[in-house]
């Protein structure tokens, strides 16, 4: 028969296993949450995108970017399943880093059937969002992008050419391009439309329109309120249908007094982006918002190396297909690409509806981008602060898969902890009661052994009979009975 000590040890073993499981779940929970989105895509889908607090490395062989710092792993979201519309000067779809990314094209100027870019601005913007680069091993056995790697290389591009070879256009053409992006095949069903629309453009102002900067912001000529309203209506339609419109804040001459955010960046329905310089400060050319206007919404790197048509000579005369350019035109696609990553993380935020009522998509994205931004200066210049790609993607909720497992693990961990604590409390109280009962029993036994009873002893009478059975042998018989019992 096992001793009491043995029985307690055997009975306690399942409880200890249960507590051990709870401890393992508790210790594993932070790692599960950190890597929960790994379930969306396999581990080989890693790529470098910008950690925009410290900068981005956009490497093209021997060409150095003006914005350089450590890259950030975003694993494994790449913008897969998200369509981004670029309304600009076109795109060089034959560029090695952009080949295969264009799924829709419309030329609103010359109606050419195949993509082209006679200005290069659109190709540069497209690379910041969607360039796929070529991974080559470095001497230290790590992998860095050879070529330009965009923020969201898994997206599909819808490209509309609405600006000419000089970067000029008009508001009505841009408005038509926005409406096309929402329903490219024109069948009334927006299921093939763009989830994100990037507008690296601005309304022309009398001075300070950025033309004195290399590749300044493409200029939209709109001198009448009616033309402006056409574009306003198109953008509001996109907002209401659920598309997120990202707009450059605009560039200005640092010596000019005209430094206000340009239209359509002033609209409430868009996410307006200012630019950071190579030191991480708000660039001197980045337009400022009016007091209490809430614009720009945030700032992002604005001096970036990206794709460039090989048919165009770069400023140094080379034709290597890459060039570092500066402007809010470069900052806007950084945010547009980040929004695409967030949409892959939470697919519920990329649905378009012809009936409208989905402006909450933009508001949700704006709230997360601003909440995760890092302060970078006064709000009229930097908005909520500098973009953090990693923090924004990590913060957005996931509807299916990915972080859903993280939530399950957290819930399970909390449940196990509650049960463990409850069992601990119950067993502690039970053991206390048992110890109290055992103590009382021991005290009772000790008291019984030491008790003195002064009652009188019973009186006995003894009758003796002796019988002789023969020589040398005798037997005595004794019989006793109580005379009285006084107890």
Could you give the CA distance from residue 162 to residue 409 in angstroms, rounded to a whole number?
A: 49
pLDDT score for 459: 54
pLDDT score for 249: 93
Could you give the CA distance from residue 385 to residue 369 in angstroms, rounded to a whole number?
A: 9
Query: Per the residue annotation, which of 121, 124, 195, 361 is the catalytic one?
Result: 121
Query: Per the residue annotation, which of 88, 118, 183, 259 is the catalytic one?
Result: 88
Could you give the CA distance from residue 124 to residue 127 in angstroms, rounded to a whole number?
A: 5
Query: Per the residue annotation, which of 101, 200, 286, 329 is the catalytic one?
Result: 329
> Would you say residue 32 lies in a domain?
no
pLDDT band at residue 1 using 50, 70 and 90 as cut-offs:
very low
Please give the average per-residue pLDDT across 2-29, as a whole number: 51
Peptide bond into 296 cis (omega under 30): yes
> Would you say residue 403 lies in a domain?
no
Other CB atoms within a 10 A radius of the CB of residue 38 amount to: 15
What digits encode the pLDDT tens for the residues 158-215? 999 999 998 888 899 999 999 999 999 999 999 999 999 999 998 764 444 444 333 3
170 is known as an active-site residue: no
SS3 74: strand
What digits encode the pLDDT tens for the residues 265-292? 999 999 999 999 888 899 999 999 987 8
> Would you say residue 479 lies in a domain?
no
* Residue 438 in this model has a pLDDT that exceeds 60: yes
pLDDT score for 225: 77
Q: Using an 8 Å Cβ cutoff, are 76 and 38 in contact? A: yes
The torsion defined by the Cα of 249, 250, 253 and 258, in degrees rounded to 10, comes to -70
88 is known as an active-site residue: yes
What digits encode the pLDDT tens for the residues 322-366? 888 889 999 999 999 999 999 999 998 988 999 888 889 999 999
* Residue 250 in this model has a pLDDT that exceeds 60: yes
pTM more than 0.85: no
> Would you say residue 36 lies in a domain?
no
CA 48 to mean position of chain CA atoms: 15
> Would you say residue 2 lies in a domain?
no
Domain tally, the chain: 1
Token digits of residue 444 = 């009772």
329 is known as an active-site residue: yes
DSSP letters, 350-368, are S---TT---THHHHHHHHH
If one compares 293 and 383, the residue with the highest pLDDT of the two is 383
Parallel/antiparallel/unpaired status of strands 202-203 and 322-326: unpaired
CATH number at residue 328: 3.40.50.200
What digits encode the pLDDT tens for the residues 93-135? 999 889 999 999 999 999 999 999 999 999 999 999 999 875 4
pLDDT score for 248: 95
> Would you say residue 99 lies in a domain?
yes
> Would you say residue 455 lies in a domain?
no
What's the domain range around 270? 41-397
Could you give the CA distance from residue 131 to residue 142 in angstroms, rounded to a whole number?
A: 20
- The single-letter DSSP state of residue 484 is E
SS3 227: helix
pLDDT score for 33: 43
> Would you say residue 378 lies in a domain?
yes
Percent of the chain's residues with pLDDT above 90? 39
């Amino acid at each position: 028969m096992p001793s009491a000590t043995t029985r307690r040890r055997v009975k306690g073993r399942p409880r200890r296993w249960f507590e051990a499981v709870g401890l393992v779940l508790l210790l594993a929970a932070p790692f599960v949450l950190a890597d929960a989105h790994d379930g969306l895509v396999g581990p080989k889908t890693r790529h470098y995108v910008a950690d925009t607090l410290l900068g981005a490395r956009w490497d093209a062989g021997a060409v150095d970017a003006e914005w350089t710092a450590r890259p950030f792993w975003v694993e494994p979201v790449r913008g897969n399943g998200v369509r981004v519309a670029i309304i600009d000067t076109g795109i060089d779809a034959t560029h090695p880093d952009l080949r295969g990314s264009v799924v829709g094209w419309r030329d609103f100027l010359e109606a050419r059937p195949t993509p082209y870019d006679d200005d290069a601005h659109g190709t540069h913007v497209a690379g910041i969002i969607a360039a796929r680069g070529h991974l080559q091993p470095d001497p230290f056995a790590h992998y860095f992008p050879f070529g330009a790697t965009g923020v969201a290389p898994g997206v599909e591009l819808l490209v509309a050419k609405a600006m000419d070879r000089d970067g000029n256009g008009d508001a009505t053409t841009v408005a038509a391009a926005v409406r096309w992006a929402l329903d490219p095949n024109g069948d009334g069903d927006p299921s093939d439309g763009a989830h994100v629309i990037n507008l690296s453009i601005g309304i022309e102002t009398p001075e300070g329109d950025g033309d004195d900067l290399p590749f300044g912001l493409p200029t939209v000529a709109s001198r009448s309120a009616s033309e402006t309203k056409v574009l306003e209506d198109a953008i509001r339609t996109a907002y209401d249908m659920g598309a997120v419109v990202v707009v450059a804040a605009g560039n200005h001459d640092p010596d000019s007094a005209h430094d206000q955010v340009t239209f359509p960046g002033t609209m409430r329905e868009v996410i307006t982006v200012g630019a950071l310089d190579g030191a991480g400060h708000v660039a001197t050319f980045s337009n400022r918002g009016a007091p209490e206007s809430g614009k720009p919404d945030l700032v992002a790197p604005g001096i970036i190396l990206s794709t460039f048509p090989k048919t165009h000579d770069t400023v140094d005369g080379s034709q290597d297909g890459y060039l570092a350019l500066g402007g809010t035109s470069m900052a806007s696609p950084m945010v547009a690409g980040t929004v695409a990553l967030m949409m892959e993380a939470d697919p519920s935020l990329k649905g378009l509806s012809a009936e409208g009522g989905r402006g909450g998509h933009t508001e949700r994205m704006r709230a997360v981008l601003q909440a995760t931004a890092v302060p970078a200066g006064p709000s009229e210049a930097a908005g909520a602060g500098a973009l953090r790609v990693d923090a924004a993607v990590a913060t957005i909720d996931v509807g299916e898969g990915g972080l859903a497992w993280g939530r399950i693990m957290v819930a399970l961990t909390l449940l196990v902890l509650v049960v463990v604590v409850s069992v601990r409390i119950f067993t502690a109280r039970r053991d206390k009661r048992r110890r109290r009962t055992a103590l009382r029993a021991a005290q009772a036994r000790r008291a019984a052994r030491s008790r003195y009873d002064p009652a009188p002893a019973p009186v006995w009478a003894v009758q003796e009979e002796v019988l002789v059975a023969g020589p040398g042998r005798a037997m005595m018989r004794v019989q006793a009975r109580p005379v009285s019992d006084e107890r």
